[in-house]
């Protein structure tokens, strides 16, 4: 671990021991590490962090905790790792405290996504970085649905729970909740007791940027699965090598995007392109030139019901909810922007720009020499 920070300046390593530091037999309790290029890369990503824990296969039975984010191309960027003895309040408070101190420090408006582990929920209450007004804590929708299904054991209700969580509009969320209530009043009460903003996209306020699950952190867990039988130093080295490979691969990918002169990453471009094509079917039915507000009617396709969405270009808002949630102009906003003679491409949030993607992977890793 010493060589890691020696040859890669800025890399953070924190230790915590069960025994006092002057005790002749130190027993490892917690160890935390985060690589400087990943920490710097987070400054160019959406302020959303997913955390998760998984068990080790060694005789010590430690747990591996991971914090990750998504880059401008919607790819996982590992941010921090820790080995702890158990998943509880103490270990999660220590880990998340280090994440706040070393990774998200200076970043306002961070959204933390996790499962509903009691240790995480309790730890967040004592960490202002992940509580309003500095940040928020959200639940993984997949875990909410899994817990919901464990209680009521009904696949149809589970599907409705998921449908309610991913709705962009409050009216559609309410309609789905009513369907749950009709099927099972107790199930409705169960979900109603969970704060809506914690698991519902329609009530999130845009904090989670459309990211509904902890799948991104579980993805890294899967990548490191082969290391979970190895000694601690081997696990650290494998996490190091994995991050190095991510940076190499994504620099190469950014070069290809630069050759195409794309303004944004492939992920943002595909979403913008999809909604641009859809906007052709819309039309502006009412507008106010001064306030840059408009009512946009959808469709015209045979068999499709017409809907009207209210767009406010000045506040970057649309009643469909997608613009606020994803940071990319929805089809209604694109239609309205063109009506006002504006370039809708200029409304894409800056964290999707190709320059941000390039800067995310601008940091350097250096070889670790044997000592």
At 228 the pLDDT is: 54
Q: Has residue 201 been placed in a domain?
A: yes
Whose CA is closest to 219, among 251, 246, 253, 256? 246
Residue 43 covered by a domain: yes
Please check whether residue 257 lies inside any domain of the structure.
no
- What's the rounded Cα separation, in Å, for the pair 70 and 46? 7
Tens of pLDDT, residue by residue over 297-328, are 997 555 555 789 999 999 999 999 999 999 99
Spell out the SS3 assignment of the chain.
CHHHHHHCCCCEEEEEECCCCCCCCCCEEEEEEECHHHHHHHCCCCCEEEEEEEECCCCCCCEEEEEEEECCCCCEEEEEEEEECCCCHHHHHHHHHHHHHHCCCCCCCEEEEECCCHHHHHHHHCCHHHCCCCEEEEECHHHHHHHHHHHHCCHHHHHHHHHHHHCCCHHHHHHHHHHHHHHCHHHHHHHHCCCHHHHCHHHCCCCCCCCCCCHHHHHHHHHCHHHCCCCHHHHHHHHHHHHHHHHHHHHHHHHHHHHCCCCECHHHHHHHHHHHHHHCCCEEEEEECCCCEEEEECCCCCCCCCCEEEEECCCCEECCCHHHHHCCCCHHHHHHHHHCCCCHHHHCCHHHEHHHHHHHCCCCCCCCCCC
- Tell me the C-alpha to C-alpha distance, in Å, between residue 171 and each of 2, 159, 258, 321: 55, 18, 41, 11
If asked whether residues 218 and 278 sit together in one domain, one would say: no
58, 165: one domain: no
One domain for residues 17 and 115 = yes
| Separation in Å, CA 329 to CA 61, 152, 202, 256, 360 | 47, 38, 17, 25, 23
Residue 342's pLDDT is 96
Question: Which among 4, 7, 71, 53 has a CA at the least distance from the CA of 33?
Answer: 4
| Number of domains present in the structure of the chain | 3
Q: Do 120 and 235 share a structural domain?
A: yes
CATH for 78: 3.30.420
Residue 24 CA to residue 19 CA, distance in Å, equals 9
Domain of residue 99, residue span: 2-139+213-250
Q: Is the pLDDT of residue 99 over 90?
A: yes
Report if residue 333 sits inside a domain: yes
pLDDT for position 1: 54
Percent of the chain surpassing pLDDT 70: 87
Task: Report d(CA 16, CA 267) in Å as an integer.
Answer: 40
Q: State whether 33 and 149 are in the same domain.
A: no
Residues 231 and 294 in one domain: no
Distance CA 35, CA 78 (A): 9
Between 105-109, 130-134, 302-306, 364-368, the lowest mean confidence (pLDDT) is in 302-306
| pLDDT attached to residue 155 | 97
pLDDT band at 4, cuts 50/70/90? low
41 located within any domain: yes
pLDDT value of residue 59: 60
239 in the same domain as 284: no
Whether residue 39 is found in the same domain as residue 78: yes
* Domain identity same for 38 and 89: yes
pLDDT per residue as tens digits for the range 234-245: 788 888 988 999
Same domain, 15 and 131: yes
At 215 the pLDDT is: 79
If pLDDT is split at 50, 70 and 90, which confidence band does 221 have? Answer: low
Domain presence at residue 282: yes
Whether the pLDDT of residue 280 is over 90: the answer is yes
Q: Which residues pair with 310 in a beta bridge?
A: 295
Q: Please give the pLDDT value at position 271.
A: 96
pLDDT averaged over the chain? 89
Does position 157 have pLDDT exceeding 60, yes or no? Answer: yes
Tens digit of pLDDT for each residue in 165-207? Answer: 999 999 999 999 999 999 999 999 999 999 999 999 999 999 9
Q: Is 271 in the same domain as 337?
A: yes
pLDDT at 55: 76
Predicted confidence at residue 273, as pLDDT, reads: 96
Per-residue pLDDT at 17:
58
Specify whether 237 is located in the same domain as 108: yes
pLDDT in tens, 135-153: 999 999 999 999 999 999 9
Any domain includes 7: yes
- pLDDT, tens digit, for every residue of 108-126? 889 999 999 999 999 999 9
């Amino acid at each position: 671990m010493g060589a890691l920070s020696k040859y890669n300046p800025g890399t953070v390593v924190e230790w915590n021991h069960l025994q006092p530091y002057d005790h002749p037999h130190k027993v490892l309790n917690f160890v935390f590490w985060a690589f400087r290029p990943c920490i710097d890369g987070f400054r160019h990503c959406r302020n959303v962090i997913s955390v998760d824990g998984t068990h080790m296969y060694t005789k010590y039975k430690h747990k591996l905790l991971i914090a990750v984010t998504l880059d401008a191309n919607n790819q996982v960027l590992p941010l921090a790792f820790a080995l702890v003895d158990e998943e509880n309040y103490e270990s999660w408070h220590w880990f998340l405290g280090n994440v706040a101190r070393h990774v998200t420090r200076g970043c306002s408006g961070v959204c933390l996504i996790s499962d509903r582990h009691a240790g995480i929920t309790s730890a967040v209450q004592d960490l202002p970085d992940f509580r309003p007004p500095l940040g928020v804590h959200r639940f993984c929708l997949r875990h909410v649905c899994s817990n919901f299904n464990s209680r009521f054991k009904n696949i149809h209700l589970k599907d409705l729970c998921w449908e309610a969580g991913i709705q962009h509009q409050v009216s559609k969320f309410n309609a789905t909740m009513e369907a749950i209530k009709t099927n099972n009043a107790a199930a409705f009460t169960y979900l109603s007791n969970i704060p809506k903003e914690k698991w519902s996209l329609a009530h999130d306020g845009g904090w989670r940027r459309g990211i509904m699950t902890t799948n991104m952190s579980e993805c890294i867990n899967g990548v490191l699965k082969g290391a979970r039988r190895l000694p601690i130093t081997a696990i650290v080295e494998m996490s190091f090598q994995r991050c190095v490979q991510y940076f190499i691969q994504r620099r190469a990918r950014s070069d290809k995007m630069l050759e195409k002169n794309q303004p944004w990453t492939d992920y943002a471009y595909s979403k913008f392109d999809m909604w641009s094509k859809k906007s052709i079917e819309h039309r502006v039915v009412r507008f106010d030139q001064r306030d840059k507000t408009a009512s946009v009617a959808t469709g015209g396709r045979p068999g499709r019901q017409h809907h009207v969405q209210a767009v406010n270009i000045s506040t970057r808002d649309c009643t469909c909810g997608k613009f606020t949630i994803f940071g990319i102009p929805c089809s209604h906003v694109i239609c309205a922007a063109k009506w006002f003679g504006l370039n809708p491409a200029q409304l894409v949030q800056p964290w999707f720009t190709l320059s941000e993607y390039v800067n995310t992977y601008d940091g350097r890793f250096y070889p670790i020499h044997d000592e």
